[in-house]
Amino acid sequence: MSPRAAAEAPGPGRLLSGSPLALLVGGFLVNVGTFAVYPYLAVLLRDRLGVGMAAVGVVLGVATLVQFASAPLTAALAERMGLRRALVLATALYTAGALTYLAGVRVPALTVVGLFLSCAAGALYSPAFRSAMVRTGGAAERPRLVSAGNAAGNLGIALGPVAGAFFLHRPSLLFGVTSVLYTLLAAGHLALRPDSEPGRAPEAEPFRRMLRGLAWVPFTVTVVTHYLYMQFYQYLSVYVTGRLPTTGYGLVMMGYSLGLAVLQPLLASRVGAVRHTAAMGVGFGCMAVGLGAFATGGPVGIAAGAAALSLGTAVLFLKNDLEAIALSDRSVTVTFGQQRLAVGVGALLSGVVGGALYGAFERAGAAEAFWLSAAAQCVALPPLALLLGRRLARRRRPGSTNPVQRDGF
């Protein structure tokens, strides 16, 4: 049996029984709790620590980088300890993070500790949750299961900031509520029963192999996808200042996330059936239209741009993950961890390269041109990512037995 087949086969503590609905509810509520806090962390850190926004940005950037860069390690850990245990441990870490935020009211430095605890929880929860969802069905059901898991997360991302806004001026109450929520989620995940007695899975591979067997084409395309997507996520709020009221911007971002939650399940079967290159054409084409529309600067153009981005990223986020699962000879859990690393690399590039570009255009009094530049990159970068991914795939070790991965299709 191949390592990939062994990893997917039933084994001690490997697969979760019961309806995937319980997993979806858990994934939704985890993101509600996370994003009820995350959008307001910058202000919270600034006020509690008494530092400038530059220092706050460094703290948030390092925490995010650590979360994504550790994903292959946490995915390998989840694979070795079993998915149920990983989910319980992750929700326990979320609880510890919320309680530490609460203690930060008296000891401000603990707010930073709470941030890193929450990032550690997310790094472990994400690959375990997504792998558990995929393993509730067969290969033919992967598009539906992956899209359903993504939709639950996106719905939580959309509603979390709205829930957090009710507690914006009462952070102690917010952290108290999220502490209770995560405690209940930990108990709920503990109630999920593995198919057999829990224990260390004998087929789990060594940690030193956690970066081996990368599906290079979806990895490089995911890097570019999130490099471009994060420019929308990171810089639109600055761009719309004076162009849209705060409530208008909030509605645009909520509409984007709700669009993802609705579109991915609707498009799942079609996205799963088409070739990766075709999905890239549609996805990056919609992203180019959306980012270009922001250059108009008006409410209609910004709303239309967010709608186009919602469609484009719905296709790309889903197809990139499906392609990674199909091409990788590693377990689903490890593959999701590797894909999460690609997300982190893209986000880092967006912060470094995108931030420098936005600053340059803004200083020149041409912030609108930044979005036209981003739209042009949606056309120029994907073919380069595809070529790079295929070249890296062909350079795999000689012992590889996956011809699809070698060819990079």
Q: Residue 309 sits in a domain of what CATH number? A: 1.20.1250.20
Q: Is the pLDDT of residue 399 over 80?
A: no
CA separation, residue 306 to residues 178, 215, 309, 349, 385 (Å): 29, 30, 5, 21, 24
Torsion sign (Cα): 89, 91, 97, 102:
negative
Q: Is the pLDDT of residue 205 over 60?
A: no
Domain match, 178 and 46 both: yes
Burial classification of residue 390, based on how many CB atoms lie within 10 Å of its CB (0-12 exposed, 13-18 middle, 19 or more buried): middle
* 11 belongs to a structural domain: no
Q: Rounded to whole angstroms, how far apart are CA atoms 16 and 137? A: 11
For residues 340-365, average pLDDT: 86
Is 10 inside any structural domain?
A: no
Helix (H, G, I), strand (E, B) or coil at 165: helix
Give me the half-sphere count of Cα atoms (radius 13 Å) on the Cβ side of residue 302: 22
Of 200, 228, 258, the last residue of a domain is 200
CA–CA distance, 78 with 131 (Å, rounded to integer)? 10
Q: Are residues 324 and 374 in the same domain?
A: yes
Q: Which residue has the tokens 């689903």?
A: 332
State whether 67 and 118 are in the same domain.
Answer: yes
Give the torsion through C-alpha atoms of 112, 113, 116, 117, to 10 deg: -140
> Where would I find the H helices in 82-141?
83-103, 110-134
Average pLDDT over residues 258-267: 90
Tell me whether residue 70 is in a domain: yes
First to last CA, the chain: 24
The whole-number pLDDT of residue 195 equals 44
CA 185 to chain centre: 20
Closest CA to 314 of 279, 338, 354: 279
Contact 338, 71 (CB under 8 A): yes
Say whether pLDDT at 44 is over 60.
yes
Domain annotation covers residue 205: no
CA distance 129 to 340: 13
Token pair recorded at residue 16? 């979760």
- Highest mean pLDDT of the ranges 88-97, 193-202, 390-399: 88-97
Q: Please state, in angstroms and rounded to a whole number, the distance separating the CA atoms of residues 342 and 28.
A: 23
The residue length of the chain stands at 409
Q: Tell me, yes or no, whether 236 and 174 share the same domain.
A: no
What is the mean pLDDT of the segment spanning 66-94?
Answer: 88
Neighbours of 128 (CB within 10 A): 30
Query: Do 358 and 227 share a structural domain?
Result: yes
Q: Where a domain ends, among 172, 200, 228?
A: 200
Is the domain of 117 the same as that of 241?
no
86, 230: one domain? no
d(CA 139, CA 314): 20
pLDDT at residue 1 above 90?
no
Is 139 contained in some domain? yes
Q: By CB neighbour count within 10 A (0-12 exposed, 13-18 middle, 19+ buried), where does 259 fall?
A: buried
Listed residues 169, 200, 231: the one ending a domain: 200
Q: Is residue 270 part of a domain?
A: yes
Does residue 353 sit in the same domain as residue 386?
yes
Q: Which tens digit of pLDDT belongs to each residue from 86-102?
A: 999 999 999 999 999 99
Dmax (CA) for the chain in angstroms is 64
210, pLDDT greater than 80: no
Given a contact cutoff of 8 angstroms between Cβ atoms, the answer to whether 124 and 78 are in contact is: yes
Give the chain's domain count. 2
Rounded percentage of the chain residues whose pLDDT exceeds 90: 39
Q: Let me know whether 170 and 273 are in one domain.
A: no
Rounded mean pLDDT of the chain?
83
pLDDT at 393: 87
Q: Are residues 234 and 191 in the same domain?
A: no
Query: In this structure, are 195 and 239 located in the same domain?
Result: no
Tell me the per-residue pLDDT of 301-336, one tens digit each, with 9 for 90 and over.
999 999 999 999 999 999 999 999 999 888 888 888
Q: What pLDDT digit, counting tens, does each position of 118-162 carry?
A: 999 999 998 889 888 888 877 788 888 888 888 888 898 888 888
The parent domain of residue 194 ranges over 18-200
Local structure of residue 194 (DSSP, 8 states):
B
Q: Are residues 136 and 230 in the same domain?
A: no
| Residues whose CB is less than 8 angstroms from the CB of residue 319 and which lie 6 or more positions away in sequence, other chains included | 271, 272, 274, 276, 279, 280, 283
Is residue 251 one of the residues assigned to a domain? yes
